[in-house]
Structure 1
Amino acid sequence: MGALWRELTDLVLPAGCAGCGVPRAGSPLCEDCRGRLGEAEAWRVRPSPAPSGLPPVHAAVGYADEVRAVLLAHKERGALRLAAPLGGLLARAVRAAVGGRADGAAPVTLVPVPSARRAVAGRGHDPVRRIALAAAGQLRRGGTPTRVLTALRQRRPVADQSGLAAGQRLRNLDGALEAVPGSGTPLAAAEVVLVDDLMTTGASLAEAARAVDAVAGRRPVAAVIAVRSRR
Protein backbone atom coordinates (compact mmCIF):
# COMPACT_ATOMS: atom_id res chain seq x y z
CA MET A 1 0.00 0.00 0.00
CA GLY A 2 2.87 2.36 0.78
CA ALA A 3 4.44 1.81 -2.64
CA LEU A 4 1.11 2.48 -4.36
CA TRP A 5 0.61 5.68 -2.37
CA ARG A 6 4.05 6.93 -3.38
CA GLU A 7 3.21 6.24 -7.01
CA LEU A 8 -0.09 8.11 -6.80
CA THR A 9 1.56 11.06 -5.06
CA ASP A 10 4.27 11.24 -7.71
CA LEU A 11 1.63 11.63 -10.43
CA VAL A 12 0.55 15.02 -9.08
CA LEU A 13 3.54 16.39 -7.17
CA PRO A 14 6.82 17.36 -8.88
CA ALA A 15 9.69 15.07 -7.99
CA GLY A 16 13.19 14.27 -9.11
CA CYS A 17 14.00 11.89 -11.93
CA ALA A 18 14.67 8.44 -10.47
CA GLY A 19 17.93 8.31 -12.40
CA CYS A 20 19.57 11.72 -12.13
CA GLY A 21 17.32 13.70 -9.77
CA VAL A 22 16.41 16.43 -12.27
CA PRO A 23 12.98 17.86 -11.31
CA ARG A 24 10.11 16.59 -13.44
CA ALA A 25 6.46 15.75 -13.00
CA GLY A 26 4.23 13.06 -14.45
CA SER A 27 7.01 10.63 -15.37
CA PRO A 28 9.47 8.70 -13.20
CA LEU A 29 12.35 9.45 -15.61
CA CYS A 30 13.59 12.56 -17.39
CA GLU A 31 14.04 12.47 -21.16
CA ASP A 32 17.81 11.96 -20.94
CA CYS A 33 17.60 8.98 -18.57
CA ARG A 34 14.68 7.48 -20.46
CA GLY A 35 16.68 7.75 -23.67
CA ARG A 36 19.77 6.27 -22.01
CA LEU A 37 17.80 3.19 -20.94
CA GLY A 38 15.95 2.99 -24.23
CA GLU A 39 19.13 2.97 -26.30
CA ALA A 40 20.95 0.30 -24.28
CA GLU A 41 22.07 -2.77 -26.23
CA ALA A 42 22.31 -6.19 -24.56
CA TRP A 43 25.54 -8.13 -24.58
CA ARG A 44 26.99 -11.38 -23.21
CA VAL A 45 28.61 -11.10 -19.78
CA ARG A 46 30.38 -13.52 -17.48
CA PRO A 47 31.80 -12.94 -14.00
CA SER A 48 35.36 -13.94 -13.17
CA PRO A 49 35.61 -16.41 -11.63
CA ALA A 50 32.36 -17.85 -12.97
CA PRO A 51 30.53 -20.32 -10.70
CA SER A 52 30.02 -23.84 -11.96
CA GLY A 53 26.72 -24.33 -13.76
CA LEU A 54 26.18 -20.68 -14.64
CA PRO A 55 24.19 -20.50 -17.91
CA PRO A 56 25.04 -17.97 -20.62
CA VAL A 57 24.11 -14.54 -19.26
CA HIS A 58 23.08 -11.44 -21.19
CA ALA A 59 22.98 -8.02 -19.54
CA ALA A 60 20.87 -5.14 -20.76
CA VAL A 61 22.95 -2.24 -19.45
CA GLY A 62 26.21 -1.64 -17.61
CA TYR A 63 26.50 -0.28 -14.12
CA ALA A 64 26.27 3.51 -13.93
CA ASP A 65 25.16 5.92 -11.24
CA GLU A 66 21.85 6.73 -12.97
CA VAL A 67 21.10 3.08 -13.73
CA ARG A 68 21.84 2.06 -10.16
CA ALA A 69 19.55 4.82 -8.90
CA VAL A 70 16.69 3.64 -11.13
CA LEU A 71 17.14 0.04 -10.03
CA LEU A 72 17.14 0.96 -6.34
CA ALA A 73 14.16 3.28 -6.71
CA HIS A 74 12.12 0.42 -8.14
CA LYS A 75 13.47 -2.26 -5.84
CA GLU A 76 13.75 -0.54 -2.48
CA ARG A 77 11.55 2.56 -2.70
CA GLY A 78 8.54 1.10 -4.50
CA ALA A 79 8.67 3.24 -7.66
CA LEU A 80 6.45 0.74 -9.45
CA ARG A 81 6.22 2.62 -12.74
CA LEU A 82 9.92 1.97 -13.27
CA ALA A 83 9.04 -1.67 -13.96
CA ALA A 84 8.20 -0.70 -17.56
CA PRO A 85 11.61 0.77 -18.55
CA LEU A 86 13.45 -1.93 -16.59
CA GLY A 87 11.27 -4.53 -18.30
CA GLY A 88 12.29 -3.01 -21.62
CA LEU A 89 15.93 -3.59 -20.71
CA LEU A 90 15.21 -7.22 -19.87
CA ALA A 91 13.24 -7.71 -23.08
CA ARG A 92 16.28 -6.67 -25.12
CA ALA A 93 18.46 -9.05 -23.11
CA VAL A 94 16.01 -11.91 -23.77
CA ARG A 95 16.05 -11.21 -27.51
CA ALA A 96 19.86 -11.27 -27.46
CA ALA A 97 19.84 -14.53 -25.49
CA VAL A 98 17.33 -16.55 -27.52
CA GLY A 99 17.31 -14.80 -30.91
CA GLY A 100 14.29 -14.34 -33.13
CA ARG A 101 11.37 -16.71 -32.73
CA ALA A 102 8.62 -17.38 -35.24
CA ASP A 103 4.96 -17.13 -34.34
CA GLY A 104 3.66 -20.40 -32.96
CA ALA A 105 6.98 -21.39 -31.41
CA ALA A 106 6.98 -22.69 -27.85
CA PRO A 107 7.00 -19.66 -25.58
CA VAL A 108 10.12 -18.47 -23.86
CA THR A 109 9.55 -19.10 -20.15
CA LEU A 110 11.00 -16.45 -17.87
CA VAL A 111 11.72 -17.78 -14.38
CA PRO A 112 12.50 -15.05 -11.83
CA VAL A 113 15.18 -15.71 -9.24
CA PRO A 114 13.20 -15.58 -5.97
CA SER A 115 13.80 -13.09 -3.19
CA ALA A 116 13.51 -13.99 0.46
CA ARG A 117 9.93 -13.80 1.77
CA ARG A 118 10.97 -11.24 4.38
CA ALA A 119 12.49 -9.03 1.65
CA VAL A 120 9.33 -9.17 -0.45
CA ALA A 121 7.19 -8.41 2.59
CA GLY A 122 9.41 -5.49 3.57
CA ARG A 123 9.36 -3.96 0.08
CA GLY A 124 5.69 -4.60 -0.50
CA HIS A 125 6.36 -6.17 -3.91
CA ASP A 126 8.60 -8.64 -5.71
CA PRO A 127 10.76 -6.43 -7.98
CA VAL A 128 12.29 -9.20 -10.11
CA ARG A 129 8.93 -10.81 -10.84
CA ARG A 130 7.45 -7.40 -11.62
CA ILE A 131 10.08 -6.51 -14.23
CA ALA A 132 9.90 -10.05 -15.66
CA LEU A 133 6.17 -9.55 -16.23
CA ALA A 134 6.84 -6.17 -17.86
CA ALA A 135 9.47 -7.75 -20.12
CA ALA A 136 7.15 -10.60 -21.09
CA GLY A 137 4.44 -8.14 -22.08
CA GLN A 138 6.82 -6.17 -24.28
CA LEU A 139 8.17 -9.35 -25.89
CA ARG A 140 4.68 -10.61 -26.68
CA ARG A 141 3.75 -7.30 -28.25
CA GLY A 142 6.88 -7.62 -30.40
CA GLY A 143 5.92 -11.10 -31.61
CA THR A 144 7.98 -13.26 -29.23
CA PRO A 145 5.77 -15.76 -27.35
CA THR A 146 6.73 -15.31 -23.70
CA ARG A 147 5.35 -16.24 -20.31
CA VAL A 148 6.50 -15.84 -16.70
CA LEU A 149 6.56 -18.88 -14.43
CA THR A 150 7.14 -18.37 -10.71
CA ALA A 151 8.73 -21.78 -10.34
CA LEU A 152 11.41 -21.30 -7.67
CA ARG A 153 11.35 -20.50 -3.97
CA GLN A 154 13.82 -20.35 -1.09
CA ARG A 155 13.92 -23.56 0.90
CA ARG A 156 16.02 -22.16 3.75
CA PRO A 157 17.08 -18.73 5.02
CA VAL A 158 20.25 -17.21 3.58
CA ALA A 159 22.51 -14.46 4.88
CA ASP A 160 22.61 -11.01 3.30
CA GLN A 161 24.83 -11.32 0.22
CA SER A 162 26.20 -7.78 0.34
CA GLY A 163 29.79 -7.73 1.47
CA LEU A 164 30.36 -11.44 0.80
CA ALA A 165 33.14 -12.59 -1.52
CA ALA A 166 32.39 -14.87 -4.47
CA GLY A 167 33.20 -18.09 -2.61
CA GLN A 168 31.19 -17.02 0.42
CA ARG A 169 28.18 -16.25 -1.79
CA LEU A 170 28.34 -19.70 -3.34
CA ARG A 171 28.43 -21.38 0.08
CA ASN A 172 25.66 -19.12 1.36
CA LEU A 173 23.35 -20.08 -1.54
CA ASP A 174 24.33 -23.73 -1.94
CA GLY A 175 21.08 -25.72 -1.93
CA ALA A 176 19.05 -22.65 -0.92
CA LEU A 177 16.52 -22.82 -3.77
CA GLU A 178 13.98 -25.43 -4.79
CA ALA A 179 11.22 -25.77 -7.36
CA VAL A 180 7.66 -24.95 -6.40
CA PRO A 181 5.56 -28.16 -6.23
CA GLY A 182 3.98 -28.91 -9.60
CA SER A 183 6.47 -26.89 -11.63
CA GLY A 184 8.61 -29.81 -12.80
CA THR A 185 6.48 -30.69 -15.84
CA PRO A 186 6.15 -27.16 -17.24
CA LEU A 187 9.85 -26.52 -16.62
CA ALA A 188 10.85 -29.74 -18.39
CA ALA A 189 8.87 -28.72 -21.47
CA ALA A 190 10.00 -25.10 -21.52
CA GLU A 191 12.83 -23.04 -22.91
CA VAL A 192 13.74 -21.56 -19.54
CA VAL A 193 15.45 -18.21 -19.23
CA LEU A 194 16.35 -17.16 -15.68
CA VAL A 195 15.69 -13.53 -14.75
CA ASP A 196 17.36 -11.34 -12.14
CA ASP A 197 17.79 -7.61 -11.76
CA LEU A 198 21.51 -7.57 -10.99
CA MET A 199 24.47 -9.94 -11.25
CA THR A 200 27.59 -9.53 -9.15
CA THR A 201 29.26 -12.95 -8.86
CA GLY A 202 26.65 -15.12 -10.60
CA ALA A 203 26.04 -17.22 -7.48
CA SER A 204 22.26 -16.61 -7.41
CA LEU A 205 21.84 -17.51 -11.09
CA ALA A 206 23.99 -20.63 -10.75
CA GLU A 207 21.92 -21.82 -7.78
CA ALA A 208 18.68 -21.10 -9.66
CA ALA A 209 19.97 -23.10 -12.65
CA ARG A 210 20.79 -26.03 -10.35
CA ALA A 211 17.29 -25.95 -8.84
CA VAL A 212 15.67 -25.97 -12.31
CA ASP A 213 17.86 -28.86 -13.44
CA ALA A 214 17.07 -30.84 -10.27
CA VAL A 215 13.34 -30.90 -11.00
CA ALA A 216 13.21 -30.61 -14.80
CA GLY A 217 16.22 -32.70 -15.82
CA ARG A 218 17.47 -29.89 -18.05
CA ARG A 219 19.25 -26.65 -17.39
CA PRO A 220 18.03 -23.18 -18.39
CA VAL A 221 19.11 -22.13 -21.88
CA ALA A 222 20.14 -18.68 -20.69
CA ALA A 223 19.86 -16.03 -18.01
CA VAL A 224 19.17 -12.32 -18.35
CA ILE A 225 19.78 -9.41 -16.01
CA ALA A 226 18.89 -5.74 -16.12
CA VAL A 227 22.23 -4.49 -14.79
CA ARG A 228 25.75 -5.89 -14.83
CA SER A 229 27.59 -4.90 -11.66
CA ARG A 230 31.12 -3.52 -11.86
CA ARG A 231 32.30 -6.12 -9.37
Structure 2
Amino acid sequence: MPTALLDLVLPPRCAGCDAPGALFCSRCAAELYGEPGRRMPDPSPPGLPECWSATVYTGAVRRAVVAYKERGRTALARPLAGALALTVATAAGKRPVVLVPVPSSRSAGRRRGHDPVNRLAGLAAAYLQAAGWPATVERMLVQRRRVADQAGLSSLQRAENLSRAFRVTVNRNGSVPGFWGDSGVVVLVDDIVTTGATLAEAARALRAAGIAVPLAATVAATRRRERISGGHRR
Protein backbone atom coordinates (compact mmCIF):
# COMPACT_ATOMS: atom_id res chain seq x y z
CA MET A 1 0.00 0.00 0.00
CA PRO A 2 1.44 3.46 -0.86
CA THR A 3 2.89 5.32 2.10
CA ALA A 4 0.66 8.36 1.48
CA LEU A 5 -2.40 6.12 1.82
CA LEU A 6 -1.04 4.47 4.96
CA ASP A 7 -0.74 7.93 6.52
CA LEU A 8 -4.51 8.29 6.07
CA VAL A 9 -5.70 4.92 7.33
CA LEU A 10 -3.24 4.13 10.15
CA PRO A 11 -2.66 6.01 13.42
CA PRO A 12 0.13 8.54 12.79
CA ARG A 13 3.67 8.07 14.03
CA CYS A 14 6.18 10.89 14.30
CA ALA A 15 8.41 11.08 11.22
CA GLY A 16 11.29 12.27 13.36
CA CYS A 17 11.35 9.77 16.24
CA ASP A 18 8.59 7.22 15.38
CA ALA A 19 6.64 8.01 18.55
CA PRO A 20 2.90 7.26 18.17
CA GLY A 21 0.20 9.89 18.21
CA ALA A 22 1.26 12.64 15.79
CA LEU A 23 2.80 13.13 12.38
CA PHE A 24 5.39 15.36 14.05
CA CYS A 25 5.67 15.27 17.84
CA SER A 26 6.28 18.43 19.86
CA ARG A 27 9.92 17.58 20.57
CA CYS A 28 10.74 16.98 16.89
CA ALA A 29 8.69 20.02 15.87
CA ALA A 30 10.91 22.11 18.15
CA GLU A 31 13.91 20.87 16.15
CA LEU A 32 12.22 21.82 12.90
CA TYR A 33 10.90 25.26 13.85
CA GLY A 34 13.32 26.34 16.54
CA GLU A 35 16.14 28.18 14.78
CA PRO A 36 15.58 29.71 11.33
CA GLY A 37 18.70 31.59 10.35
CA ARG A 38 21.36 32.40 7.78
CA ARG A 39 23.45 29.31 6.97
CA MET A 40 25.94 29.52 4.12
CA PRO A 41 27.91 26.53 2.81
CA ASP A 42 31.63 26.79 3.52
CA PRO A 43 33.13 27.29 1.02
CA SER A 44 30.30 28.91 -0.95
CA PRO A 45 30.23 28.71 -4.75
CA PRO A 46 30.37 31.95 -6.77
CA GLY A 47 26.99 33.57 -7.31
CA LEU A 48 25.28 31.85 -4.41
CA PRO A 49 22.44 33.97 -2.94
CA GLU A 50 22.30 34.55 0.79
CA CYS A 51 21.07 31.20 2.14
CA TRP A 52 18.60 30.86 4.99
CA SER A 53 17.28 27.62 6.44
CA ALA A 54 14.88 26.55 9.15
CA THR A 55 17.41 24.30 10.86
CA VAL A 56 20.33 21.94 10.30
CA TYR A 57 19.98 18.73 8.32
CA THR A 58 20.39 16.20 11.07
CA GLY A 59 18.45 14.00 13.47
CA ALA A 60 14.67 14.15 13.35
CA VAL A 61 14.64 16.78 10.62
CA ARG A 62 16.80 14.69 8.31
CA ARG A 63 14.58 11.65 8.86
CA ALA A 64 11.47 13.68 8.12
CA VAL A 65 12.86 15.22 4.92
CA VAL A 66 13.97 11.81 3.62
CA ALA A 67 10.59 10.29 4.48
CA TYR A 68 8.77 13.09 2.66
CA LYS A 69 11.05 13.31 -0.34
CA GLU A 70 12.02 9.68 -0.98
CA ARG A 71 9.50 7.48 0.84
CA GLY A 72 6.21 9.00 -0.20
CA ARG A 73 5.12 10.48 3.15
CA THR A 74 3.54 13.45 1.40
CA ALA A 75 1.52 14.43 4.47
CA LEU A 76 4.82 15.77 5.85
CA ALA A 77 4.69 18.55 3.27
CA ARG A 78 2.62 20.72 5.62
CA PRO A 79 4.94 20.83 8.64
CA LEU A 80 8.01 21.12 6.40
CA ALA A 81 6.41 23.93 4.40
CA GLY A 82 5.50 25.68 7.64
CA ALA A 83 9.17 25.70 8.60
CA LEU A 84 10.06 26.98 5.13
CA ALA A 85 7.49 29.79 5.38
CA LEU A 86 8.90 30.85 8.75
CA THR A 87 12.38 30.91 7.23
CA VAL A 88 11.27 33.04 4.28
CA ALA A 89 9.56 35.49 6.61
CA THR A 90 12.69 35.75 8.76
CA ALA A 91 14.95 36.28 5.75
CA ALA A 92 12.78 38.72 3.80
CA GLY A 93 11.80 41.04 6.63
CA LYS A 94 8.62 42.87 5.68
CA ARG A 95 9.11 42.68 1.91
CA PRO A 96 6.71 40.92 -0.47
CA VAL A 97 8.24 37.70 -1.79
CA VAL A 98 8.22 35.66 -4.99
CA LEU A 99 9.12 32.04 -4.28
CA VAL A 100 10.91 30.27 -7.14
CA PRO A 101 11.26 26.51 -6.56
CA VAL A 102 14.30 24.68 -7.89
CA PRO A 103 12.94 22.07 -10.35
CA SER A 104 13.45 18.35 -9.90
CA SER A 105 14.53 16.25 -12.86
CA ARG A 106 11.86 14.32 -14.72
CA SER A 107 13.46 11.02 -13.73
CA ALA A 108 13.43 12.00 -10.04
CA GLY A 109 9.78 13.02 -10.32
CA ARG A 110 8.85 9.70 -11.88
CA ARG A 111 10.79 7.76 -9.23
CA ARG A 112 9.28 9.65 -6.32
CA GLY A 113 5.79 10.02 -7.73
CA HIS A 114 5.65 13.70 -6.75
CA ASP A 115 7.59 16.97 -6.96
CA PRO A 116 8.60 17.69 -3.35
CA VAL A 117 10.03 21.18 -3.76
CA ASN A 118 7.16 22.49 -5.89
CA ARG A 119 4.72 21.26 -3.26
CA LEU A 120 6.69 22.90 -0.44
CA ALA A 121 6.86 26.23 -2.28
CA GLY A 122 3.12 26.28 -2.94
CA LEU A 123 2.21 25.45 0.64
CA ALA A 124 4.75 27.91 2.07
CA ALA A 125 3.27 30.70 -0.06
CA ALA A 126 -0.22 29.75 1.12
CA TYR A 127 0.89 29.92 4.77
CA LEU A 128 2.45 33.34 4.21
CA GLN A 129 -0.66 34.61 2.45
CA ALA A 130 -2.86 33.35 5.29
CA ALA A 131 -0.73 35.42 7.67
CA GLY A 132 -1.28 38.51 5.51
CA TRP A 133 2.11 38.35 3.80
CA PRO A 134 2.28 39.28 0.08
CA ALA A 135 3.66 36.04 -1.37
CA THR A 136 3.44 34.35 -4.76
CA VAL A 137 5.02 31.32 -6.43
CA GLU A 138 6.55 31.49 -9.89
CA ARG A 139 7.64 28.15 -11.36
CA MET A 140 9.85 29.81 -13.94
CA LEU A 141 12.86 27.46 -13.80
CA VAL A 142 13.11 24.28 -15.86
CA GLN A 143 15.90 21.80 -16.45
CA ARG A 144 17.46 22.19 -19.88
CA ARG A 145 19.39 18.91 -19.83
CA ARG A 146 19.73 15.71 -17.85
CA VAL A 147 21.94 15.81 -14.75
CA ALA A 148 23.39 13.00 -12.65
CA ASP A 149 22.31 12.25 -9.08
CA GLN A 150 24.13 14.68 -6.79
CA ALA A 151 24.50 12.22 -3.91
CA GLY A 152 28.13 11.39 -3.21
CA LEU A 153 29.57 14.09 -5.47
CA SER A 154 32.19 16.59 -4.27
CA SER A 155 31.61 20.36 -4.41
CA LEU A 156 33.53 20.60 -7.69
CA GLN A 157 31.73 17.60 -9.19
CA ARG A 158 28.34 19.04 -8.20
CA ALA A 159 29.17 22.36 -9.84
CA GLU A 160 30.31 20.62 -13.05
CA ASN A 161 27.25 18.36 -13.05
CA LEU A 162 24.89 21.33 -12.79
CA SER A 163 26.69 23.77 -15.11
CA ARG A 164 24.09 25.36 -17.43
CA ALA A 165 21.51 22.82 -16.23
CA PHE A 166 18.63 25.30 -15.74
CA ARG A 167 16.89 27.86 -17.90
CA VAL A 168 14.08 30.34 -17.35
CA THR A 169 10.82 29.90 -19.26
CA VAL A 170 10.08 33.01 -21.34
CA ASN A 171 7.38 34.28 -23.68
CA ARG A 172 8.04 34.89 -27.35
CA ASN A 173 8.79 38.54 -26.57
CA GLY A 174 11.45 37.44 -24.05
CA SER A 175 9.47 38.27 -20.92
CA VAL A 176 8.99 35.82 -18.04
CA PRO A 177 5.36 34.60 -17.84
CA GLY A 178 3.55 36.00 -14.80
CA PHE A 179 6.56 37.84 -13.42
CA TRP A 180 7.04 41.57 -12.98
CA GLY A 181 10.10 43.21 -11.50
CA ASP A 182 8.07 44.88 -8.74
CA SER A 183 6.36 41.65 -7.63
CA GLY A 184 8.66 41.33 -4.63
CA VAL A 185 12.04 40.01 -3.60
CA VAL A 186 12.87 36.73 -5.36
CA VAL A 187 13.59 33.83 -3.01
CA LEU A 188 14.94 30.59 -4.46
CA VAL A 189 13.42 27.58 -2.67
CA ASP A 190 14.82 24.07 -2.20
CA ASP A 191 14.48 21.36 0.44
CA ILE A 192 18.10 21.28 1.63
CA VAL A 193 21.37 23.06 0.85
CA THR A 194 24.63 21.11 0.92
CA THR A 195 27.42 22.67 -1.17
CA GLY A 196 25.18 25.37 -2.65
CA ALA A 197 25.91 24.27 -6.25
CA THR A 198 22.24 23.76 -7.16
CA LEU A 199 21.11 27.12 -5.77
CA ALA A 200 24.07 28.92 -7.38
CA GLU A 201 23.27 27.47 -10.82
CA ALA A 202 19.56 28.27 -10.43
CA ALA A 203 20.46 31.85 -9.47
CA ARG A 204 22.78 32.12 -12.51
CA ALA A 205 19.91 31.14 -14.83
CA LEU A 206 17.59 33.72 -13.29
CA ARG A 207 20.20 36.49 -13.45
CA ALA A 208 20.83 35.65 -17.11
CA ALA A 209 17.14 36.45 -17.66
CA GLY A 210 17.54 39.78 -15.87
CA ILE A 211 16.06 38.68 -12.54
CA ALA A 212 17.88 39.62 -9.32
CA VAL A 213 18.12 36.80 -6.78
CA PRO A 214 19.26 38.04 -3.36
CA LEU A 215 17.90 35.20 -1.20
CA ALA A 216 17.50 31.43 -1.02
CA ALA A 217 15.50 29.50 1.57
CA THR A 218 15.53 25.80 2.44
CA VAL A 219 14.04 23.57 5.10
CA ALA A 220 17.48 22.49 6.27
CA ALA A 221 21.21 23.01 5.72
CA THR A 222 23.89 20.39 6.10
CA ARG A 223 26.44 21.10 8.78
CA ARG A 224 29.61 22.81 7.66
CA ARG A 225 32.34 20.30 7.03
CA GLU A 226 35.63 20.57 8.84
CA ARG A 227 38.43 21.68 6.56
CA ILE A 228 42.15 21.12 7.00
CA SER A 229 44.32 24.23 6.64
CA GLY A 230 48.00 24.23 7.55
CA GLY A 231 47.56 20.88 9.31
CA HIS A 232 44.82 22.15 11.64
CA ARG A 233 41.11 21.44 11.56
CA ARG A 234 38.76 24.40 11.69
Question: TM-score, normalized by length of structure 1?
Answer: 0.88
| Mapping for residues 1-231 of structure 1, pairs under 5 Å | 5-24=2-21, 27-38=22-33, 40-101=34-95, 107-182=96-171, 184=176, 186-187=178-179, 189=181, 190=183, 191-215=185-209, 217-230=210-223, 231=225
Unaligned runs of 5+ in 1: 102-106
Q: Residue 193 of structure 1 contacts residue 223 of structure 1 at CA under 8 Å; is this kept in 2?
A: yes
SS at match of 2:44: coil
Q: Residue 7 of structure 2 contacts residue 75 of structure 2 at CA under 8 Å; is this kept in 1?
A: no
2-structure distance, mates of 1:181, 1:192:
17
Q: Residue 193 of structure 1 contacts residue 220 of structure 1 at CA under 8 Å; is this kept in 2?
A: yes
Compute the displacement of 1:42 (Å): 1.2
2-structure distance, mates of 1:58, 1:36:
16
Q: 1:97 to 1:147 in 2, by over 3 A?
A: same
1-structure distance, mates of 2:4, 2:98:
29
Compute the displacement of 1:129 (Å): 0.8
- Compare the two structures and name the one with the higher helix fraction: 1
Q: Residue 41 of structure 1 contacts residue 92 of structure 1 at CA under 8 Å; is this kept in 2?
A: no
2-structure distance, mates of 1:184, 1:135:
22
2-structure distance, mates of 1:83, 1:29:
11
SS at match of 2:170: coil
Counterpart residue number, 2:228 = none
Compute the displacement of 1:34 (Å): 2.7
Q: Residue 153 of structure 1 contacts residue 179 of structure 1 at CA under 8 Å; is this kept in 2?
A: yes
Q: Residue 141 of structure 2 contacts residue 168 of structure 2 at CA under 8 Å; is this kept in 1?
A: yes
Q: Residue 7 of structure 2 contacts residue 73 of structure 2 at CA under 8 Å; is this kept in 1?
A: no
The ranges of structure 1 where at least 4 consecutive aligned residues each deviate by more than 4 angstroms after the TM superposition are 185-188
Q: State the identity as a percent.
A: 47
Compute the displacement of 1:119 (Å): 0.4
Compute the displacement of 1:211 (Å): 0.6
SS at match of 2:160: helix
Q: Residue 31 of structure 2 contacts residue 55 of structure 2 at CA under 8 Å; is this kept in 1?
A: no
2-structure distance, mates of 1:116, 1:85:
24
Compute the displacement of 1:186 (Å): 4.2
Matched to 1:121, the amino acid is R
Q: Residue 57 of structure 2 contacts residue 192 of structure 2 at CA under 8 Å; is this kept in 1?
A: no
Q: Residue 187 of structure 1 contacts residue 212 of structure 1 at CA under 8 Å; is this kept in 2?
A: no
Q: RMSD of the TM alignment (CA)?
A: 1.7
What does the per-residue CA deviation read over 1:172-230, in whole Å, with 9 as the maximum and x for residues that have no partner? 11101001233626445142110000000000000000111111x13212100100112
SS at match of 2:16: coil
SS at match of 1:196: strand
Q: Residue 192 of structure 2 contacts residue 222 of structure 2 at CA under 8 Å; is this kept in 1?
A: yes
Compute the displacement of 1:97 (Å): 1.5
Counterpart residue number, 1:104 = none
What does the per-residue CA deviation read over 1:80-120, in whole Å, with 9 as the maximum and x for residues that have no partner? 1111111111111111221024xxxxx41100011101101
